[in-house]
Amino acid sequence: MIISRLGGVRISELADVRAERPEAVAEAAAGRTRRDAPPGASGKLMIIAADHPARGALAVGGDPVAMADRGELLDRLCVALERPGVDGVLGTPDILEDLMLLGVLDGRLAIGSMNRGGLAGTAFEIDDRFTAYDADAIAASRLDGGKMLLRIDDADPATARTLESCARAVSGLARHRLMALVEPFVSHPVDGRVRNLLTPEAMIRAVSVASGLGVTSAYTWLKVPVVPEMERVMAATTLPALLLGGDVAGDSREVLDGWRRAMRMRGVRGLVAGRSLLYPPGGDVRAAVDAAVEVL
């Protein structure tokens, strides 16, 4: 069911507004009420991630096109953002602008996803070029930060370009005093697809590299998965970190317990979760979000 929005347009009206009055996007961004304090000032953060479609990653569980219906995705995002304890959303320009037009981002954090060029399943997947927001656009849109994916493949020269681009983005966001959220992995191809190594040693290396990007790390945060020996991973940096939710295919209780244990560690400041909350087993978005918020 597509819900209507108070203070904004309806989901069913978005295409008409975009066609007939494109300036409404800038107006909505300019009129959005922002939080006064920096992201980390309010304690543990709960961020809903919705930047998957721009990478062509539409699958959830066994459904390869679960996230393909944009109206349904926006509906689920609106439900999630209305739940107590949810601080904001991470998305590409198309999704964040839809949410602004719907009027649901007032008082919420809005983090722009920046490099979406490494399309899922392609031969150039490790070449994570910046094809969405840049630092200046994030500042101009009055967003609260930018997120970038950094996959390190020792055998792929494209990694060097991604490292350089991420360093520029970290520096650019810092000049605007905005959060730079870096999601680092050590990656390699398996059967023609890029896979992330989720060993403690691999994540320690990835975190160490990501922590040194840019001309300053003052505004850098990390987005990290929960892996074995998580204490060792968090000991590798003094930067604040948000836990990565990912696509929960197994027992959700086991996943929640893993988040709960990691949340007690030094430097862990919250959770970023998308598909596991927006498309949970059984379809109850409210219950899934509330369970994640309880972990905080």
Q: Tokens representing 166?
A: 């991420």
Most confident of 118-122, 165-169, 247-251: 165-169
Q: Can you tell me the mean pLDDT for 271-293?
A: 94
Q: Tokens representing 114?
A: 């920046």
Q: What is the pLDDT of residue 249?
A: 56
> Quick check: 8 pLDDT over 90?
no
Structure confidence at residue 4 as a pLDDT band (50, 70, 90):
very low
Q: What is the pLDDT of residue 6?
A: 45
> Quick check: 3 pLDDT over 60?
no
Query: Locate tokens 């390699």: which residue?
Result: 188
Work out the angle at residue 85's Cα, subtended by the Cα atoms of residues 83 and 90, and round it to the nearest 5 degrees: 80
Q: What is the rounded CA–CA span in Å between residue 240 and residue 42?
A: 13
pLDDT in tens, 207-237: 999 999 999 999 999 999 999 999 999 999 9
Non-local (6+) Cβ contacts of 119 within 8 A are: 55, 56, 125
- 138: Cα within 13 Å, side-chain hemisphere: 33
Non-local (6+) Cβ contacts of 123 within 8 A are: none
Number of Cβ within a 10 Å radius of residue 159: 19
> Quick check: 117 pLDDT over 90?
yes
Q: Is 105 helix (H, G, I), strand (E, B) or coil?
A: coil
**Which domains are seen in the chain, by residue range?**
11-27+44-295 (3.20.20.70)
Q: What is the pLDDT of residue 245?
A: 86
Q: What is the pLDDT of residue 255?
A: 86
> Quick check: 99 pLDDT over 60?
yes
> Quick check: 47 pLDDT over 50?
yes
Q: What is the rounded CA–CA span in Å between residue 180 and residue 202?
A: 21
Q: Which of 178, 182, 177 is CA-nearest to residue 166?
A: 182
